[in-house]
Each structure stands twice: as structure tokens, then as C-alpha cells.
Amino acid sequence: MKASRTASPGASIAECYAGLVLDLDGVCYRAAEPIPGVAGALEAIRDRGVAVTFATNNASKTPAAVAHQLRDLGVPATGDDVVTSSVATAELVTPGQRCLVIGMDGLREPLRDRGAVLVDDHRTADVVAVGMDRGLTWSDLRRATLALRRGARFLGTNPDATFPEPEGQVPGNGATLAALTTASGRQPEIVGKPRPTLFEAARARLPDGPVMMVGDRLDTDVVGAAALGWDTALVLSGVTTADEASLADPPPTYVLDDVGGLLAPAPPEAPV
Ligand SMILES: [Mg+2]
């Protein structure tokens, strides 16, 4: 459902919204490199009373670590401003539930904060929670498979098949989930974009009123947010080219060079 908001004449695109959900890689930075102008643009957007929260499929970093990275780029942020797919996964767990975890601190810490009990014994697990884990072993897959075959809830932080490294694409969490799906015959509940759960967790951190997703990927950021009825801004500072954007289905509400484009005047028929 789209809420409506009347921006005053001459208002910027950002001011047509009560809040913005920003993707990180390709929007705020590229790998470890800042995208020029992002810090100043976000400061101007916040100064105009538009709330900002950051949402990432990255499951391996804690919100505090992501916020630290943002501050290094000159963007004021605390862990409360950041929702990772791991945090949204933890919000699906009931306090006291026993979780067998494949994942790093980025997943373990939010689960503990949620009040989950982290266990190693597959016989006692209520939930198997799976996120990117660079220390993954066959023994981890064995225990998770046994727990899933006993009926534990199967949560996956994100479906990304691969993860970019300087030498190329390496197995991402989707690859781990595929191994467990093959071994257990079970399908995971996926939390990250383009599925709704991470978007909804980010939405819950913003004030009432219309919100827009700002991302660099059509298949996750735009497709997922549009499915929830949100407006979308595709920025060309990441993986998507202008040619690809022109062919997108559904088309983004806005196609912008970068986050600074959110400060351009809203079109008179701003579609909120
Ligand atoms: Mg991105």
C-alpha cells in the first residue's frame, strides 16, 4: 500500500519520503572505496528531515562494524542505523529458542542479543540459522543436516550464490544453503533481499509515511522493494549500467547517477 505525502513545491526527491532505506555496497561505497559525495549528500538529506536507515544482505558483519565502516567514510551512523540480514534473521527467532548456527559474529551476536541459546548439539536445536561462514567445515554441514532432518526451522540470512573477492567470485551463503538443501531435502526461509523480511525490518526502523529503497541492484533492491509497493531509486554507482536500467521490469521509480541525485528537485508529478 502506498502512503501519500505532499512535498512542497521545489522539494527534492528525498523530501517526498519520510524515510529512505539505503543499500550499502554500490550505494555508499564500492568494496572499501568511498563513492564521492555520499557523506555530504546523506548529511543534506538528513538535514531536511528525511530519516535514513541502511540495509545489507551481508551477514558476516555486525551492525556496529558496518556503522564503523560508514563513519570512516564520513557518514555518521550507529549500529541502530544498520539492519543486516543477520539482524533480521535473529528477529524471526523467539527468545529462548535453541539455535544451531553456521555463521560468524555478524550472525551469532544478534542471535545472542535476541535471547536465543546457541547450541552445538543437533538433537536439541529448534532452529538452524545459516549465514556466510569462512570457517565452514563438513562437520558443520553434518550437524545442520541432522538437525534439519529432525525438523528444526531452517533460516538462511541471504541467498547470494557468490561473494566478490579480488581474485573473483567465491562461494556465498547461497552455496552453503544449496548443500544443506540437497542433504536435508528442506528449503530454507530466506531473509535477505529480494525477500520481504529484511525490507520490513528496515521499514520498522523508520517513521510512519512513505519510504523508498535506494539500491544499485535491479534483481534484489528494486525487485524486492517494488514487490512491497515501495518506490525505488536505482543508483548507477554500483553494478547496474544505464542500459540495463532502461530495460528493467519493473522499472525503478528513479534512475540516478548516485545518492546525490536524491537532492535533485522532485518532478511535479512525483509518484508518491
Ligand atoms: Mg548493493
Distance 24 CA to ligand 1 centre (A): 6
Does the pLDDT value for residue 3 go beyond 50?
no
- Say whether pTM exceeds 0.85: yes
- CATH topology for 94-190? Rossmann fold (3.40.50)
Enumerate residues with CB within 5 Å of ligand 1 (an ion).
23, 25-26, 216
Confidence of residue 152 (pLDDT cuts 50, 70, 90): very high
* Vertex 185 angle, CA 184 and 188, to 5°: 85
Q: Where are the domains of the chain?
A: 14-57+194-263, 94-190
Confidence of residue 8 (pLDDT cuts 50, 70, 90): confident
Distance 180 CA to ligand 1 centre (A): 26
Confirm if 88 and 53 have CB atoms less than 8 A apart: no
Q: Average pLDDT for residues 139-149, to the nearest whole number?
A: 98
Distance 30 CA to ligand 1 centre (A): 9
Mind giving me the DSSP string for the chain?
------PPTT-BSGGGSSEEEE-SBTTTEETTEEPTTHHHHHHHHHHTT-EEEEEE---SS-HHHHHHHHHHTT----GGGEEEHHHHHHTTSPTT-EEEEES-HHHHHHHHHHTPEE---GGG-SEEEE---TT--HHHHHHHHHHHHTT-EEEES---SEEEETTEEEE-HHHHHHHHHHHH---PEE-STTSHHHHHHHHTTS-SS-EEEEES-IIIIIHHHHHTT-EEEEETTSS--HHHHHT-SSPPSEEESSGGGGGSBPPTT---
Residues 84-106 have pLDDT tens digits of 999 999 999 999 999 999 999 99
Least reliable range by pLDDT among 1-10, 14-23, 120-129, 135-144? 1-10
Distance 125 CA to ligand 1 centre (A): 33
Is 25 among the catalytic positions? Answer: yes
What is the torsion angle, in degrees rounded to the nearest 10, for the CA atoms of residue 29, residue 34, residue 35 and residue 38? 90
Q: 14-57+194-263 and 94-190: same fold?
A: yes
Does the pLDDT value for residue 6 go beyond 70?
no
Confirm if 223 and 214 have CB atoms less than 8 A apart: no
CATH 3.30.1330.100 describes domain 14-57+194-263: no
Residue-level pLDDT at 181 = 98
Q: Among residues 95, 108, 225, 122, which one has the least CA distance to residue 157?
A: 108
Residue 171, number of CB atoms within 10 A of its CB: 16
**Amino acid at the residue 179:** A
φ/ψ of residue 52, rounded to 5: -130, 135
Is 23 among the catalytic positions? Answer: yes
Distance 150 CA to ligand 1 centre (A): 36
Distance from C-alpha of 146 to C-alpha of 180, rounded to nearest angstrom: 10
Least reliable range by pLDDT among 76-90, 128-142, 153-167? 153-167
Confidence of residue 163 (pLDDT cuts 50, 70, 90): confident
Does the pLDDT value for residue 2 go beyond 50?
no
